[in-house]
Amino acid sequence: MWKVVILICVSMCHYSTTNNVTANSDRNLLIVNGTVITINERPYQVALNFHYIPFIYADFVCGGVIIGKKWILTAAHCLDKAKVVRAGTSCSTWWGKMFNMKETYVHPNYTRVPLRNDVAILELDEDIEYSDEIQPIEMMTGLEKIPDNEDDYEIVVSGYGLPSFKSKEEDCGLKKIVVKTISRDECKQHYKTLLDNQICAINKTSSTCQGDSGGPLTMTAWDNGKIKLFLMGISSFGDDCKVNEPMVFSYIPSFLGWIKYITKL
Ligand SMILES: *[C@@H]1O[C@H](CO)[C@@H](O)[C@H](O)[C@H]1NC(C)=O
Ligand SMILES: *[C@@H]1O[C@H](CO)[C@@H](O)[C@H](O)[C@H]1NC(C)=O
Ligand SMILES: *[C@@H]1O[C@H](CO)[C@@H](O)[C@H](O)[C@H]1NC(C)=O
Ligand SMILES: *[C@@H]1O[C@H](CO)[C@@H](O)[C@H](O)[C@H]1NC(C)=O
């Protein structure tokens, strides 16, 4: 299946400089060295597919996140190819429930080179029915109280992406990695064009990879006396799936005003 994706990529990916941040699909992220999970663990994760033919295989493009009954967040650069949303599935190309898009809203300041404001909102043409496999996640405001106990504080990224750079391996499964965020200054040493509305995370042995773009970065924080998950970022790009290199995310609190203006959530 990846052959198709890779062929599309060869004809569409024009940007490949090492230090310049680009929307090269080669940098659309999948997870290297992640832990395989089922959708029940991250029911707000969705897959974006290239087309929809009932009961027939549909190519996978990107990840996305459910934030409301008819609202999905993803990366703006995913909209080149993404046509339908597949929710409630542990496999990016089969099962789950498909939704058509009624409208797409790309961030007005989105740029491809360098890749900035890489956020888009998808409005579905019907309401999502929530279940154990399909749930929304609350967006982080930036005012949350972070748990003092380190064991309670966890930042996780998930996706259906490739297990290695330009991999041809067929693997539709959902994976996650636990990551640590790093300072913007440290990240700027890798990606010079970074803005304040981008946040970076790293893991020594794992990385996001092609196909992970648009998916959720989550963090734990206090909410009414309980520790709960919040959406902290949307996967944007990385450095060719290399482990121990920063992965870059659009930082949700910076985009909250625009997202609420569009969705009225
Ligand atoms: C980044 O892009 C600029 C403008 O396109 C170019 O002049 C520069 O050489 C690029 N830098 C690298 C490291 O590729
Ligand atoms: C886009 O950028 C302009 C200029 O910096 C800014 O005034 C505007 O608020 C931005 N739009 C959004 C939706 O953030
Ligand atoms: C990196 O990922 C590995 C494997 O998923 C995990 O065991 C480890 O705790 C992670 N490291 C950090 C710093 O989050
Ligand atoms: C995956 O993780 C293992 C152990 O954590 C490490 O030895 C290996 O190098 C990692 N794979 C890659 C591609 O980095």
- Ligand 3 center to residue 177 CA distance, Å? 7
Give the C-alpha separation, 69 to 34, whole Å.
29
pLDDT at residue 28, rounded to an integer: 42
Pocket lining: 20 vs ligand 1, CB cutoff 6 Å:
yes
Q: What is the mean pLDDT of residues 208-232?
A: 94
Confidence band, pLDDT 50/70/90 cuts, at residue 1: very low
- Ligand 3 center to residue 205 CA distance, Å? 7
Percent of the chain with pLDDT over 90: 69
Question: Which atom of ligand 3 is the closest one to the Cα of 203?
Answer: 1
pLDDT at residue 169, rounded to an integer: 63
Give the C-alpha separation, 148 to 139, whole Å.
21
pLDDT at residue 104, rounded to an integer: 97
CB atoms within 10 A of CB 37: 16
Pocket lining: 108 vs ligand 2, CB cutoff 6 Å:
yes
- Ligand 2, atom 10, lies closest to the CA of 109
Proximal ligand: closest to the CA of 119: 2
Confidence band, pLDDT 50/70/90 cuts, at residue 54: low
pLDDT at residue 32, rounded to an integer: 82
Mean pLDDT (the chain) is: 85
Assess whether pLDDT exceeds 60 at residue 10.
no
CA atoms within 13 A on the CB side of 70: 13
